[in-house]
Amino acid sequence: MPQWSKKPGREVWSITIPDVAEQEEQGTRGARGGKRLGPAVSSVDMVVTVVAVVVVLAGLSVSLIFPPDAPDTPVAHEGRRDGTPSAAVATDLPPAPTATDTGGVLVPPLAMEAERQSAQLVCQAQIGTTQFTALSYNIKSARAGSLERLLGVMQQSKATVILLQEVDYKRRSTGSVDQAGWFADRLGGWGSAFGRNVTFGDGLYGTAVVSKYPIVSSENTPLPNSGKAQPRGLLHVVINVEGVEVSIYSTHLDNTSAGIRTAQASRISSMLAADPRPKILGGDMNTWPNSGPERILSSRLSDSFVVAGSGGGATHPAGHPRTRIDYLLYGGPDLTATSSVVMPAGGSDHLPVRADFTLGGIKTEKCSGDAKAKPRDTGAASGDPSGPASGTATGDAGKVD
């Protein structure tokens, strides 16, 4: 029979299988010696024994290769110089990032975070400038030329703010037309404001402002007068130029008395002093340069033609201009005239005065990180200039019965 034995110091078992021939020899000797021995091992017993041995060996091999007490996670040991192992250092790696479902497209979290950061806007507030053009024009109620001819002059000037004098409002004698509104509509839906100075039996007469920029407010103030002189007024219109409020003043001073003109100029000067906005005063002053009324106004404002003008500068009479009585004066913060010229245009007994201005204090934002960034909202009035804030406004400045 097979016999098992354990070798000292090792987990190895051995089996001893007696030789078949030897067993037969022993059986023969036992028979000869008169002793009875067990029967010899048959061939079937041998096959069974061999199969059992193979199964046992296979089981031992599996137990040695995969010991039942082995840890699930491999552990690395860093040996010390004295031969003893140091503390175990786990070699577990963090779990791989999982994909996040974003609208049907699987995006790894790290990539999604990078995309989010790159899409963030980085904006910086900036203060810039802008340019606009003003035109002052005494149109003589369109009696010296048609409205269409006057409109052509305005379009040729490329002005975005137009200051008008001798303007009719629905007078029968000039076609019952709101002249300022008529120009505004044909310039592209601009805004207009009318300042009434005289009420005639067939309508109104005064000054006006037509603006491409939104009109914030308008007010007409009567100016000093005496006797039977025609009532005069100062039309004050506040416009919004890219977030900056600018005051536009249109006026027509008296043409009969230097004293009345001086009083009117003094009143205008005091009103300008109380206005902190950038401002433009334009109109038919009926006074020449360096005269008393002109010096009063120039003490508060700068003359655009003196600062940046070219040409002769005379505005009246239009056919043979001899003197300059039409002006565009300016003042206040961040407003500068860059050019000024008298246009050689017909349609009235006065020539129009044109001036280009640079306006500072324009708030903008420079953004990076998103090409579709919107401009910064300044909170200023904007939109369709034909809206309620930019429609025709009418102010009173005296009444003639």
pLDDT (0 to 100) of residue 84: 47
CA atoms of 27 and 94, how far apart (whole Å):
71
pLDDT at 276 over 60: yes
pLDDT at 345 over 90: no
Asked if 269 and 296 touch (Cβ cutoff 8 Å), the reply is yes
pLDDT at 16 over 70: no
Q: Which sequence spans correspond to the domains of the chain?
A: 3-65, 126-396
CA atoms of 149 and 143, how far apart (whole Å):
11
| Residue labelled with tokens 């067990």 | 38
Structure letter (DSSP) for residue 216? E
pLDDT (0 to 100) of residue 106: 53
How many CB atoms are located within 10 Å of the residue 191 CB?
Answer: 29
* Closest among 215, 125, 137, 204 to 171, alpha carbons compared: 204
User: How do residues 118-146 score in pLDDT, each as one tens digit?
Assistant: 567 788 889 999 999 999 999 999 999 89
Q: Taking the mean position of all CA atoms in its chain, how far away is CA 284?
A: 41
Q: Which residue has the higher pLDDT, 382 or 175?
A: 175
CA atoms of 353 and 340, how far apart (whole Å):
7
Q: Could you tell me the pLDDT band of residue 28, with boundaries at 50, 70 and 90?
A: very low
User: Using N-to-C axis directions, what is the helix angle for 179-186 and 147-157, rounded to 10°?
Assistant: 50
CA atoms of 174 and 143, how far apart (whole Å):
8
Domain 126-396: CATH architecture, name and number where available? 4-Layer Sandwich (3.60)
Strand 3-6 relative to strand 393-396: parallel, antiparallel, unpaired? unpaired
Rounded alpha-carbon distances, angstroms, from residue 281 to 136, 158, 294, 301, 401: 9, 19, 12, 8, 29
∠ Cα 270 276 277 (to 5°): 115
Mean pLDDT of 96-103: 50
Q: What type of residue is 300?
A: R
The tokens for 17 are: 């299988």
CA 277, 282, 287, 289 torsion-angle sign:
positive
Return the percentage of the chain with pLDDT > 70, whole number.
63
pLDDT (0 to 100) of residue 210: 99
Q: What is the pTM of this model?
A: 0.65
Q: Which residue has the higher pLDDT, 323 or 59?
A: 323
* Bond from prior residue into 224 cis (ω within 30 degrees of 0): no
